[in-house]
Structure 1
Amino acid sequence: MTRYLGRRAVELVIVFLGVTLIVFLMVFALPGDPIAALGGDRPLPANVIAELRGRYHLDEPVLQQYLRYLGGLFTGDLGTTFQGQSVADRMSSRWPVTITLALTAWGIEVVLGVLLGLFAGLRKGRFGDRLVLAGTILATSVPVFVVAVTAQLVLGVRLGWFPVAGTADGWPSGYLLPATVVAIFGLASVTRLMRGSVIDTLNSDFVRTLRAKGLRERRVVGVHVMRNSALPVMTYLAIDLGYLLGGTVVVEGVFNLPGVGQLLFQAIRTHEGPTVVGVSTALILIFLLTNLVVDLLSSVLDPRIRHE
């Protein structure tokens, strides 16, 4: 296990450096001057532009800027915005909203995805199975912003069942609708994955043996089939939690939720490079650490897996 952890740590460092470098280059190496854009319709004087570029080290080669940024990461510095604010401070007040939204969506995926997948797997080829499969195809065929705007208009504005925007109503009413929109796409994947895993498990020799011994069907399904079908689903769900934390940008923008996703959305729109890089770095770290935890827990869920 020690050798495996060491190898995985090296892999994570390489991936982190590669991905953050790509993000940094996409933000700061592309054509355009973010300092000049600060003036809007009124161009800034040349001496002011030169002063600001020197203050934020934009006059240095881009690789040197990246190395300077990496040095700051070791001290917990995610950068400073062009308005002089710390990116980490701007994110700190927004994390609770994003985490609450992501965990609510994740809970919806876990409960509904596992139940629908189990329901479809136990009724393979029947009407209920085909209905669930059709629903998952429909859910993954519609873009997320279309689902978000439609849900907001129908369920929020016309029917008044949920708040239209913001988090003033708190949890759960203020988060349930946007969380459902976020969860729809992961829910479809969880359902199909659980269905396939249940079907494979039901066709296993040990299940036929349990039934031949006279074990009740409820215990066969509720204990043995569920446990052996859970590993691929739980692995996906654990990784998907990292996606949810970084994939709420569009939904937070549509529902005007003051989370990290909305901060990233606004930073992209206003060409706020340090904020885009800082938020992206935090989300990359979360995703990589989530993957590491999943790999370590997989051997706990299934003793047949040995990382050595």
Structure 2
Amino acid sequence: MWRFLARRLLELVIVFFGVTFVIYCAVFLLPGDPIEALGGDRPLPESVQQQLREQYGLDQPIWQQYVNYLGGLFQGDLGTTFTGQSVSEQMASRWPTTITLALTAWVLTVLISVVLGLVAGLRRGSAIDRSVLLGTIIAESVPVFVMGITAQYVFGIMLKWTPIAGVGDGWPRSFILPALIIAIYGLAGVSRLMRGSVIDTMQSDFVRTLRAKGLSRRGIVGLHVTRNAAAPVVNVLAIQLGSLLGGTVVIEAIFNINGVGQLLYKAIQDQEGTLVVGVATTLVLIFLITNVVVDVISSLLDPRIRND
């Protein structure tokens, strides 16, 4: 078990350094000078620009900048924006909103995907099964911003069921629509996975034995099939909980939700490289830790995984 855990942690460290270095290079090697952008229509004097570059370490090689960033990161410092604001403080005030949105989307994903996959699997080849497969394909094909804007217009403006933007009405009214849009992209793959797992479970030997013993179909499905079919789906759903935090970026921008996703969106627009890297690094770390936790829990439930 300890060897398995050590291997997973080593993989986490390698992936973390690789991904964060790519993110850092992608942000700070892009065309454009964020220091020049601070002046807007009136460029800052060259002496001031040089002083700011030295202050933020932008006059150093990219690898040195990355090492300096890691040094601060290991001390809990995500950096300071070019306007003098702490990245950690800006994120701290927005995390509750993003977490609420992500958790709401995750719960919707769990409820809808399990039900759709179970019904489709039990009615394989029926009109319901084909409808679920077609619906999930369509859901994954439509860009998230198109679906978000359309839902905002239909349910917010035409039907007036939900607020158009913001979270002024609190949970659940302000969160349910954006969370549902996020959930649709998660449940598409999970529902198909659940469907396939249900079909495999229904064809297994122990189900045939239960039928031979005279157990009713409802009892077989309710007590045995659902529990066994959901086992591989649980791992995917657990991993999605971490990835949903990063999936809120576009939706928070569309619905003007004051969360971490919107903070990242505005940071990209304003060329606040330190803020972009800080938010992206935090999201990557959350995702990686979630993966490791899921792997460890899965290995405890099924020791065969440790030997993979």
Equivalent residue, structure 2, for 1:247: 247
Q: 1:228 offset after TM fit, Å?
A: 1.3
Query: Counterparts of 1:139 and 1:247 in 2: how far apart (Å)?
Result: 15
8 A Cα contact 1:231 1:298, kept in partner:
no
Equivalent residue, structure 2, for 1:210: 210
Deviates more, 1:204-213 or 1:259-268: 204-213
Equivalent residue, structure 1, for 2:298: 298
Query: Counterparts of 1:2 and 1:185 in 2: how far apart (Å)?
Result: 35
Q: 1:216 offset after TM fit, Å?
A: 2.4
Amino acid paired to 2:273 = G
Equivalent residue, structure 1, for 2:158: 158
Amino acid paired to 2:54 = G
Q: 1:306 offset after TM fit, Å?
A: 4.0
Equivalent residue, structure 1, for 2:117: 117
Q: What are the superposed Cα offsets for residues 82-123 of structure 1, whole Å, 9 maximum, x if unpaired?
A: 011110100000001110000000000100100111000000
Amino acid paired to 2:63 = L
Query: Counterparts of 1:293 and 1:65 in 2: how far apart (Å)?
Result: 31
Query: What is the 5 A alignment of 1:164-243?
Result: 164-243=164-243
SS in structure 1 at match of 2:306: coil
Query: Counterparts of 1:61 and 1:96 in 2: how far apart (Å)?
Result: 37
SS in structure 2 at match of 1:307: helix
Equivalent residue, structure 1, for 2:33: 33
Equivalent residue, structure 2, for 1:23: 23
Equivalent residue, structure 1, for 2:102: 102
Q: What are the superposed Cα offsets for residues 123-182 of structure 1, whole Å, 9 maximum, x if unpaired?
A: 000111111111111111110000000000110011100000001100000100000011
Q: 1:243 offset after TM fit, Å?
A: 1.4
SS in structure 2 at match of 1:151: helix
Amino acid paired to 1:4 = F
Closer, same or farther in 2 for the Cα pair 1:134/1:42, shift >3 Å?
A: same
TM-score normalised over the length of structure 2:
0.97
8 A Cα contact 2:36 2:43, kept in partner:
yes
Deviates more, 1:235-244 or 1:276-285: 235-244
8 A Cα contact 2:25 2:62, kept in partner:
yes
SS in structure 1 at match of 2:32: coil
Q: Percent identity?
A: 63
8 A Cα contact 1:164 1:255, kept in partner:
yes
TM-score normalised over the length of structure 1:
0.97
Q: 1:71 offset after TM fit, Å?
A: 0.7
Equivalent residue, structure 2, for 1:274: 274
5+ residue gaps in structure 2?
none
8 A Cα contact 1:298 1:305, kept in partner:
no
Equivalent residue, structure 1, for 2:14: 14
Matched, 1:307 2:306: yes
Q: 1:297 offset after TM fit, Å?
A: 1.7
8 A Cα contact 2:123 2:129, kept in partner:
yes
8 A Cα contact 2:114 2:191, kept in partner:
yes
Query: Counterparts of 1:197 and 1:33 in 2: how far apart (Å)?
Result: 52
5+ residue gaps in structure 1?
none
SS in structure 2 at match of 1:174: coil
8 A Cα contact 2:157 2:164, kept in partner:
yes
Q: 1:305 offset after TM fit, Å?
A: 3.2
8 A Cα contact 2:298 2:305, kept in partner:
no
Closer, same or farther in 2 for the Cα pair 1:52/1:266, shift >3 Å?
A: same
Query: Counterparts of 1:139 and 1:66 in 2: how far apart (Å)?
Result: 39
Query: Counterparts of 2:41 and 2:179 in 1: how far apart (Å)?
Result: 38
Q: 1:215 offset after TM fit, Å?
A: 1.9
Q: CA RMSD of the aligned region, Å?
A: 1.1
SS in structure 1 at match of 2:175: helix
Q: 1:209 offset after TM fit, Å?
A: 1.0
